[in-house]
Structure 1
């Protein structure tokens, strides 16, 4: 490869797949032309199904394009895939760690697979273990690592040899902000020190903003490309922050602004306020705000991305559908004044390890309640105990008025659950999944088809009834999982990282649905690693090491983290501050 030449050159690249169930051809990539710079980080972004992973797999030589030219490190990948694979490393979304093997044994295995010479291994292993902070855990089985540590081990295994090009497909999905920051530090050090070329697919626009070049894919086509500065430009002069009126939740103001689609392109809660993109010529009065409620701010990459997609009409139909639901008056709270969920001194042990340590909180009916924490903090264990999927070691857990020690089965009939990986049967159709889960929830006779018809309409699944769930785009699978979880009209809905891996557009539509559900009186408990999503919650808890570190409204938690009128914090900054301060105090004790 000549000096200064791109690491990847794609010209008119086309790739399609036959969807036999739907009897149609899916065009994953249609005439894509782009370059990936040498010695820099290049990002691929785009909505679900845009073609990012397909492009990655073509570059890795795992697929062949039907048309176009693709050169990787100066080589024709179609003609000599093995030669390309010998010089690159690829970390797919679900990297294959061997969970029964230790950290060191996983590294040894991948070094064997890549034929890394024995004399090079010790130097490379020491370097990677130091860089990922895994040197203390070499004997620990990979299956017992936290999610963030697994991702760092996956990256280390990918790098057991020194590649010329590193492909990372959504490397930080499901990873907390602290671990995400650590992963990015590792990658950037490699780029600076080794002049490594990196191609990254990501759902996080703040990650793409740190890259040299960004390519926006949409429905298999290249929609836009350029530096982050260039892609922010379309939103220049159109971004502002709106302050809610006294007592008005930020998510309520957000919903009002999104309802003005002729004047507002996008709106999202941020630090107790609402960040928005308005259309040209729109002022505070046109948005129903006083002048002191609106202040201009510089655009971010996410603003340029959202304007690009919204101007194409993406997501507008879904927004309108949710608008109808949210127009109804809020339902009166359910229950008799008792909390929907009550937790007192909850403990869960796994042998000598305490995963949840004397946690106490309650959740009101109709509340959106967030469980936040780093990977391995104990939030998923807490979540599973509240769903009746895992017994507590001690303490009280009462859900929908039922004590989970005595009535777990009865409690499960009154809750809905949407797992992170969407517990759907991939080979069953949409209709078959709904019928199966409806029966499992005890729906029979005329009630089952009535509820199936209702959720098909509510979640825009009509016309897709015959499609296998495994062949649906991620955003549609998410809607089906929500429909399944709400079939039996539960009082409480548990959502375990439901937007993990979703792009900003899909996350906006999802949260409009959640706020609409809460307005009907349904209690929602959600775990998430997108800290911006905590702003949709009425209250949140932050856990780490099994202990509760913070509990309150988003504004109260930000104040606990040190926010003042002169120093505003977003939720990610607050989260990192609270966790790091608690860890520092623990180490000092």
Structure 2
């Protein structure tokens, strides 16, 4: 890449952005004055609705500020749009790749838009294809690429014209840990060459890779600095707690304590952040259980982020009161894959996969993009035909009894199968009708979900106008209308912020406490910790099966004595890939 001048800057002076009429304005971004320099990657972090995308769109010249001035590489985006486009690369959340064009055809199209021709075009293509490792896939249709490869192609198209400034709006969403690692490697290389890069993210482990953090909340800048500076704010306030009781039950209990700011499951323990410093020996007494085992833990950026925003507000799910308990005493097998196989022509997407899920269990199906987990998942809930083998739900063969089996299932799709032109209330009514609810019972269930998820203020709004967190709650409510015994969740928290993810898992844990069985796919490795067992898929095969702690221990070594779930994922997938390649 071409070395850019180190003095590339973005300067904002008293910038504000409002939407709506003057008497009913929504302030998306409050008065913001700052300078961003080309010095490593700048992370733009914040929960849903914080103003991240609004800020990036103003920097790209797609929105004008309500007040204040912006300078990007010496240009005003509101006035110098044409000149700025030659200096700037912008990759929005839904980058406009053409899925029915090949990799090469997409590059050709974007090069035409950038007016890049002749020898310059061929030289640029060769450089970008090598940089993104896409040279082997130039004839593959973009729609056939994995999520990680799509993001690489999107980045390559964005880099055409060799921009001085690169704006990336949540490029890691829906991308597995290995692909995200590769994206970060590429972006760090660009930053070393002097490019000014802003990476917007809701993955807080990504924030720790940035040299500078801008943390927004409700349109306000509430922190600016290096990640470690914020992480220090929770020093001596983070602990791992374990006891002789199920960790989900323990978490639900201790989260309600007024001194607890946040809590998540981590292996066979729970990770708690306290609002103030407490001596470890006093924690068991404070939580009212002398049998608790307490160990200090190192604070993470995500701990500090949640704490700075005031901690988790939703600490108990009302679903515990409206869902009927299911008897789990028999430990029945309710989901089973027997030599499950799916082929598309001569390509085997799922290859003789076997696993069992017992009642009241959370079973996670993990794997890299394109590994076959989504194919396996869709066969298990009757959405995709089976080539060979069996998918059983409550002992019903989905090849023969898929309609009957689906009456016992709730399904929450990755992209939320909501109807954007219907209001929230109309979506609830529609989905309850699909599940066979009518009359008084239907109205009762709709009212229960409105109360459980606090939909009253948004009943007459449509999903297309809602933040991602509200869409997620609505999709979950629609999937639970008929109070199913089993719920399938396909990447249910992709793209939502950590606070919303915490709230989501409080609801899911409440369902499991009632005996509901959950099968989930996710790219968030901290969410994998909530699973009782994990099936790890790579290249269509099940390569590992066990509890989160068992998977982590399987890769533990002298060099890596206490691996994280993400490290275990990467190690197991890389070993499997090397083995299948004969390395």
Bin the TM-score by the shorter chain: over 0.9
Q: CA deviation at 1:332?
A: 4.4
8 Å CA contact 2:337–2:353 kept in 1: the answer is yes
Q: In 2, distance between residues paired with 1:552 and 1:264?
A: 30
User: Residue 259 of structure 1 aligns with which residue?
Assistant: 256
Deviation at 1:229, TM superposition (A): 2.3
Offset at residue 535 of structure 1 (A): 0.7
What do the CA deviations read for 1:62-111 (whole angstroms, capped 9, x no partner)? 11111111111122222212221220000111111111211111111111
**Alpha-carbon distance in structure 2 between the residues aligned to 1:3 and 1:347:** 54
CA distance in 2, matches of 1:360, 1:127: 43
Match of 2:99 in 1: 99
Distance 1:421 1:360, change over 3 A: same
Q: What's 1:18 paired with?
A: 20
Superposed CA offset, 1:486-528 (max 9, x none)? 0111111111101101111111111111000111111111100
Deviation at 1:166, TM superposition (A): 0.3
Deviation at 1:266, TM superposition (A): 1.3
Counterparts of 1:209 and 1:555, CA distance in 2: 24
Q: What is the match of residue 443 of structure 1?
A: 437
CA contact 1:357–1:547 (8 Å) conserved in 2: yes
CA positional deviation for 1:397: 0.8
Report the CA distance between 1:6 and its aligned residue: 5.7
User: Are positions 1:274 and 2:262 aligned together?
Assistant: no
Cα RMSD after superposing both structures: 2.3
Distance 2:426 2:396 in 1: 31
Q: Measure the CA separation in 2 of the matches of 1:407 and 1:152.
A: 41
Contact 2:243 2:292 in 1 (8 A): no
- Cα pair 1:388 1:408 within 8 Å, conserved: yes
Q: What stretches of structure 1 of length at least 5 have no aligned partner?
A: none
Q: Using the alignment, how far apart are the partners of 1:290 and 1:117 within structure 2?
A: 73
Q: 1:425 aligns with which of 419, 425, 430?
A: 419
Question: What residue in structure 1 maps to residue 301 of structure 2?
Answer: 301
The equivalent residue for 1:339 is: 333
Task: Confirm whether residue 234 of structure 1 aligns to residue 230 of structure 2.
Answer: no
Matched-pair contact (CA < 8 Å) for 1:6–1:35: no
Query: 1:372 maps to what in 2?
Result: 366
Seen in structure 2, the aligned counterparts of structure 1 residues 14 and 567 have a Cα distance that, compared at 3 Å, is: same
Which ranges of 4 or more aligned residues in structure 1 deviate by more than 4 Å?
A: 2-6, 288-292, 324-330, 334-337, 563-566
Count of aligned pairs: 576
1:562 to 556, 562, 577: 556
- Contact in 2 for aligned 1:264/1:276 (Cα 8 Å): yes
**1:290 shift after superposition:** 5.8
Superimposed CA distance per residue, residues 524-571 of structure 1 (whole angstroms, 9 cap, x where no aligned partner): 111000011111011110001100011111122222223689911211
**What TM-score, normalized by structure 1, do the two folds share?**
0.93
Query: Aligned residue for 2:198?
Result: 199
Per the TM alignment, residue 207 of structure 1 is displaced from its structure 2 partner at its CA by 1.1
* Residue 230 of structure 1, CA deviation: 2.1
Partner residue in 2 for 1:183? 183
SS of the residue corresponding to residue 581 of structure 2 reads: helix
SS where residue 100 of structure 1 aligns? coil
Q: Distance in 2 between matches of 1:249 and 1:571?
A: 20
What is the CA–CA distance in structure 2 between the aligned matches of 1:335 and 1:300, rounded to whole Å?
A: 38
Give the TM-score taking structure 2 as reference length: 0.94
Aligned partners of 2:19 and 2:28 also within 8 Å:
yes
Give the alignment of 1:459-538 within 5 angstroms: 459-538=453-532
Give SS of 1:423's match: coil
Deviations 1:218-247 (A, max 9, x none): 1111111111122223222322333x124x
Q: Note the alpha carbon deviations across 1:30-60, whole angstroms, 9 max, x for none.
A: 2122222224211111110111001000000
Q: Gapped runs of 5+ residues in structure 2?
A: none
Q: 1:258 to 1:99 in 2, by over 3 A?
A: same
Whole-Å separation in 1 of the counterparts to 2:55 and 2:185: 25
Question: Residues 330, 557 of structure 1: CA spacing in aligned structure 2 closer, same or farther, 3 A cutoff?
Answer: farther
Contact kept? 1:129, 1:156, Cα under 8 Å: yes
